[in-house]
Structures are given as structure tokens and as C-alpha cells.
Amino acid sequence: MPRVFSGIQPTGEPHIGNYFGAMRNYVNLGEEYGKNSLYCVVDLHAITNPAAFDPQRLAQRTFEMAVANFAVGLDPQKVTFFVQSHVPEHQELSWIFTTLTPVGELERMTQYKDKSAQLESVPAGLLMYPALMAADILLYKADTVPVGEDQTQHIELTREIARKFNHAFGETFPEPRAVYNRDALRIPGVDGNGKMGKSKGETSTIGILEPLDSIWQKLRVAPTDPARVRRTDPGDPEKCLIGDYHKLFSDLDTIELVYAGCRTAGIGCIDCKKKLMEGVTAHLTPIQARAEDFKADPDFVRDAIAQGAREARALAQPIMEEVREKVGFLKL
Ligand code: SF4
């Protein structure tokens, strides 16, 4: 049975870019692969970048990320959902992988170059990040990894590490393949400045758990097609982020109505945005209600995460046993 692994950064409240780009896909893959789909909140990765790491909020953000994923429909009974630091085998395998990975290859990683350029003192953990990521995936012999295209280099390195290990110690790991969800790259920020992303601040994002009136305030002032200077000017919904959002949130009839209305100046931008808000409300209200239910029952969330760690360890431990034996560690 193929096995899927995906790491989720504990960045607190996810936005609709995360939802349409990754989380919804997790739910679908979970239906298909069941317990062989593993979703891991990667808190060990989160501490590698001192610029983004806040120890006061890490536990809370990890918890919130679990709540958000459960709220969008990821069922911890059906999939394996856990927190990276609860499965210490990730670190053990990562260490072995660092011994197989040339420093030069790690230094060539684009993400490392970008992040380290912003730091005065670069922690070794930031350099080792891709070895830990390779361990995350290969610890479960996962062969399918849903990622954004910015992770291509890391997946290539994971394949390389798998090949090196297999060559040095005998056939052990599959070479995993990346599965891209290209929608993630096309969701524009609500401030009109490129792709939606947390690093650009909350003015660019629409949180899936954000209060609806706050979302409306952002949509109300969001830029539209600059060709529509006056209400009577026709526009092009393909050149407007509100047009893009309609494709995510509105039904086909509404999309046809507002697209035609925009092109003929039959609808004003505020009315078009109100139509969009109806779709946003219909989409996010049940998710937000479920999130409130989970927050009101933190023991359920904690128990689900603890159970996920037990399930993940049950998969990881025999593979780690195999690795230890092949590497030649003394077994007592
Ligand atoms: S009518 Fe809608 S799609 Fe067209 S420019 Fe205005 S907000 Fe954008």
C-alpha cells in the first residue's frame, strides 16, 4: 500500500491559501489512503529558524494547527495525525542522514540560502533542515509527498539520501515522489501584492478561522481590476483577485453571473464582493463552528494527537530497527 507523508508547519491559524492548496488535499488523500496517510506538525523544523521561532507560542500554535486541520475535515480516526517531537525516531534517523549528506549540498539549498542571509549567526540546525525532512519522509518509507513547488529541491535531496543509504547499507528506502498542488501557487493575497502568505503579514491573508466581519473588511477594500475606474466601466474578472476568489468560493451560477456582470459593467464591485462574501460565509461557517467545538474540548484534541504519535511510532520503530541493524549499531 502506498504511503503518504506531509509535514505541516505550526504557524498558528492557517489561511485560505493553505486550505485550498494543502489542507483540503490532505482530507481527500486521507479518504484514499486511510492510516497510510501521515500528517505531521513539524515543530522540530519550526525551531530551526530563530527569526520565526517563538517558544512562548509554539505549543499553542501546534495545538491550533491540529484544531484547524480537524475542523476542515481531517479525521484523526481515519488518518495518522501527530506531532513530530512526539516521535523521537525522526531525530535519530535525521542524525544518520546528516552523516551521509555533504555540507556543500545542504548549503546549496535555496531555502537555506534565503533564510540564512537574514541571520547574523546561522544555527547548524537550519543547515540540517533538509536531512530532518528526509528523515520525516523515509522513517515511514513514504513514497508520496504532497508539497508546494518550493520544496522540489528538498524532495530531490531526500531521494538522493535514500539512494546513498541504499547504496551504503543495502536496499531499504523507496525514492519518494513529490505531488504538487498547483492551486496553492495561484491564490493571490487579499492586499493585491502577490501570493497569499503569512510572511507578508495578516493584511495579505484571509484566515480560515478569522471572524467573518474581519474578512469582509479586507474584501471590501481589496483592489479590483484597475480598468474599472467608474461603476460604468467594464472590467475583466480574470485580472481581479475577487474574480479569482469567486472560483474558490462561489457556485458556477454565481461565477457566470458576476463574470458576465463585470465584463458588461452590469454589476458593481461592492455587489460582486457581497456575492463573494456569501460564498465565503457558506464555506467557512461550518469549519469555524467545528473549530469552536474542538477548542471547547481540548482533551479530545490532545488524546487524538497522543494516539497519532502511538500509531506513527508503531510504523517507525520496526523501520528504525532495520536501519540500526544495517548501520551496524550494537544490539543488546
Ligand atoms: S466586478 Fe468583481 S470581478 Fe469585476 S473588477 Fe469588480 S470586484 Fe473584480
Which of 9, 19, 29, 21 has the alpha carbon at shortest distance from 210? Answer: 19
- Interval between CA 205 and ligand 1 midpoint (Å): 19
User: From the alpha carbon of 259, which atom of ligand 1 is closest?
Assistant: 3
DSSP secondary structure of 153-211:
HHHHHHHHHHHHHHHHH-S-----EEEE-THHHH-B-TTSSSB--GGG-TTS--BTTS-
Q: Whole-angstrom Cα distance, residue 186 to residue 21?
A: 9
Give the list of residues 6+ apart from residue 235 with CB closer than 8 angstroms, or none: 224, 225, 227, 228, 262, 263, 265, 269
Whether 68 is in the pocket of ligand 1, judged by its Cβ within 6 Å, is: no
User: From the alpha carbon of 272, which atom of ligand 1 is closest?
Assistant: 2
> pLDDT at residue 81 above 70?
yes
- Interval between CA 228 and ligand 1 midpoint (Å): 8
> Which residue shows C-alpha cell 501546534?
62
User: From the alpha carbon of 240, which atom of ligand 1 is closest?
Assistant: 8
- Interval between CA 21 and ligand 1 midpoint (Å): 23
Tell me the pLDDT tens digit for each residue of 50-66. Answer: 877 888 899 999 999 99
Residues with catalytic roles = 115, 195, 198
Percentage of residues of the chain with pLDDT beyond 70: 97
pLDDT of residue 148: 80
Whether 45 is in the pocket of ligand 1, judged by its Cβ within 6 Å, is: no
- Interval between CA 249 and ligand 1 midpoint (Å): 15
Tell me the pLDDT tens digit for each residue of 4-45. Answer: 999 999 976 789 988 998 899 999 999 999 999 999 999 999
Domains along the chain with CATH numbers: 4-187+298-327 (3.40.50.620), 211-291 (1.10.240.10)
pLDDT of residue 1: 77
Tell me the pLDDT tens digit for each residue of 88-141. Answer: 999 999 999 999 999 999 999 999 999 999 999 999 999 999 999 999 999 999
> pLDDT at residue 301 above 90?
yes
Whether 206 is in the pocket of ligand 1, judged by its Cβ within 6 Å, is: no
Tell me the best of 272, 273, 278 to mutate to test the pocket of ligand 1, counting ligand atoms within 8 Å of each CB and taking the most.
Answer: 272
Q: Whole-angstrom Cα distance, residue 26 to residue 316?
A: 21
User: From the alpha carbon of 267, which atom of ligand 1 is closest?
Assistant: 1
